């Protein structure tokens, strides 16, 4: 049965299934324990101190994607060991240095000498740094055998700022199934370890070898030579992750509660009050084998309606219809009925809301509100 308090919520509302979230957290934590590496959760997905506290139990530290995240998690959450895992812009060095001056053990990443010079000239002293390695051509970073790794490493080490190497196999989001994720995980691991070995062969320290993405964290067979793994969307999962086999739809902990506001019966449409301002514009499943439009529709208790998707979205209107070619029947959903919509991309959908309405893991407990934040 749906939680009795859901009926009182305004819509659209962002719902978080605590039981699913805790199971997702424990699944990855146990896997890292078996593989013998530290877990450094990426908090860009949750942007919530309440969620972060649960993710960080037993973790070696936190990962963030903005300095705003670092500031909030340190100042409001008391999280001290933070990796800012986006290439540092010289203009942001002073802000990062200010966090360190307050007592935050902030580490930054970079892949060029100009960035390194900015970090070394930071107010209050050089900022600890990881050198970014390109493991799959997804984004930034240096090739694992690039001689500039040693050049940058020497410059950083001279000021005591070299902490190691970092990589992210972002292209793992484009392949399907555990064997493909395992292959990307090995590619990611080998790139980071190769770069670390290059530094050590030059007489430089490399205490941290950091890798990670949700698909590779769950797909890795071995993490020899790696010291920590980063992952973020695993905490909630989403339809993109289900589409590549990193989870099932039953693992998705995030949904948007919406209300039916109309029908176009001759077109087979049901209209709801959750458009792209609620679901986001993300269409990540459009390139997958099964396209879920702007989200997959469930009943108020979270049970998926077969083939029922948000086929189109305006700013505040969502158009629900059966997937093309479906033989399922359109459910009877009168005006005022409630549905829950699973998101394509948990990070993007979450960013549309100021808070989570938490459906508690323990039966009989009231709904809770956990604030989340945005900004850079």
**64 sits in which H/E element:** strand 62-64
Mean pLDDT throughout 125-132?
98
Backbone angles phi, psi at 264, to 5 degrees: -125, 85
- Statement: residue 4 has pLDDT above 90: no
Q: What values do phi and psi take at 132, rounded to 5? A: -80, 130
Q: Which residues contact 372 (CB under 8 A, 6 or more apart)?
A: 46, 47, 48, 51, 350, 353, 354, 355, 356
Q: Please, what is the average pLDDT of the chain?
A: 97
CATH tag, 36-236: 3.20.20.10
pLDDT tens, 13-68?
A: 999 999 999 999 999 999 999 999 999 999 999 999 999 999 999 999 999 999 99
Three-class secondary structure of residue 35 per DSSP: helix
The backbone torsions φ and ψ at residue 236, rounded to the nearest 5 degrees and listed phi first, read -115, -30
Rounded Cα–Cα distance for residues 83 and 109 (Å): 8
All CATH 3.20.20.10 domain ranges in the chain, comma separated:
36-236
CATH fold for the domain made of 4-14+253-371:
Lyase, Ornithine Decarboxylase; Chain A, domain 1 (2.40.37)
Whether the per-residue pLDDT at 132 is higher than 80: the answer is yes
Confidence of residue 1 (pLDDT cuts 50, 70, 90): confident
**pLDDT tens, 81-103?**
999 999 999 999 999 999 999 99
Dist. CA 234–CA 212, nearest whole Å: 11
pLDDT in tens, 236-282: 999 999 999 999 999 999 999 999 999 999 999 999 999 999 999 99
Q: Are 45 and 277 in contact (CB under 8 A)?
A: no
Rg (CA), the chain: 22
SS3 annotation, 81-140: EEEEEEECCHHHHHHHHHHHHCCCEEEEEECCHHHHHHHHCCCCCCCCEEEEECCCCCCC
- What percent of the chain clears pLDDT 90, i.e. is strictly above it? 98
Encode pLDDT of 196-232 as tens digits: 999 999 999 999 999 999 999 999 999 999 999 999 9
Structural element, H or E, at residue 25? helix 18-35
129-133 sheet: strands from edge to edge: 38-39, 228-229, 208-211, 162-167, 129-133, 105-110, 81-87, 62-64
What residue ranges of the chain are covered by domains with CATH 2.40.37.20? 4-14+253-371
pLDDT digits (tens, 9 = 90+) for 324-353: 999 999 999 999 999 999 999 999 999 999
């Amino acid at each position: 049965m749906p939680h009795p308090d859901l009926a009182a919520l305004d819509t659209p509302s962002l719902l978080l299934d605590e039981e699913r979230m805790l199971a997702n957290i424990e699944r990855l934590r146990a896997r890292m324990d078996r593989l013998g590496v530290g877990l450094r959760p990426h908090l860009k997905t949750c942007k919530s101190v309440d969620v972060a506290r649960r993710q960080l139990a037993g973790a070696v530290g936190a990962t963030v994607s903005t300095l705003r995240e670092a500031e909030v998690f340190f100042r409001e959450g008391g999280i001290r060991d933070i990796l800012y895992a986006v290439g540092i812009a010289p203009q942001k060095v002073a802000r990062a240095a200010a966090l360190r001056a307050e007592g935050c053990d902030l580490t930054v990443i970079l892949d060029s000498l100009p960035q390194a010079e900015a970090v070394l000239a930071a107010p209050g002293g050089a900022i600890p740094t990881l050198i970014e390695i390109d493991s799959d051509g997804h984004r930034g970073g240096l090739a694992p055998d690039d001689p500039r790794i040693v050049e940058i490493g020497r410059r950083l080490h001279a000021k005591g700022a070299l902490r190691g190497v970092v990589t992210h196999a972002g292209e793992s989001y484009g392949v399907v199934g555990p064997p493909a994720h395992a292959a990307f995980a090995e590619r990611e691991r080998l790139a980071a370890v190769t770069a670390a070995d290059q530094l050590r062969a030059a007489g430089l320290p490399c205490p941290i070898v950091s890798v990670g993405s949700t698909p590779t964290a769950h797909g890795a067979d071995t993490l020899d030579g790696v010291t920590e793994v980063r992952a973020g969307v695993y905490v909630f999962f989403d339809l993109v992750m289900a589409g590549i086999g990193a989870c099932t739809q039953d693992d998705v902990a995030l949904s948007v509660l919406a209300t039916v506001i109309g029908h176009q019966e001759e077109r087979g449409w049901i209209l709801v009050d959750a458009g792209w301002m609620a679901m986001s514009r993300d269409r990540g499943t459009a390139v997958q084998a099964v396209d879920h439009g702007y989200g997959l529709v469930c009943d108020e208790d979270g049970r998926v309606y077969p083939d029922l998707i948000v086929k189109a979205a305006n700013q505040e209107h969502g158009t629900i219809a059966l997937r093309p070619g479906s033989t399922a029947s359109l459910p009877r959903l009168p005006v005022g009925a409630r549905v829950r919509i699973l998101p394509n991309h948990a990070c993007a959908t979450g960013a549309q809301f100021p808070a989570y309405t938490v459906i508690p893991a323990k039966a009989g407990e009231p709904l809770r509100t956990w604030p989340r934040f945005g900004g850079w």
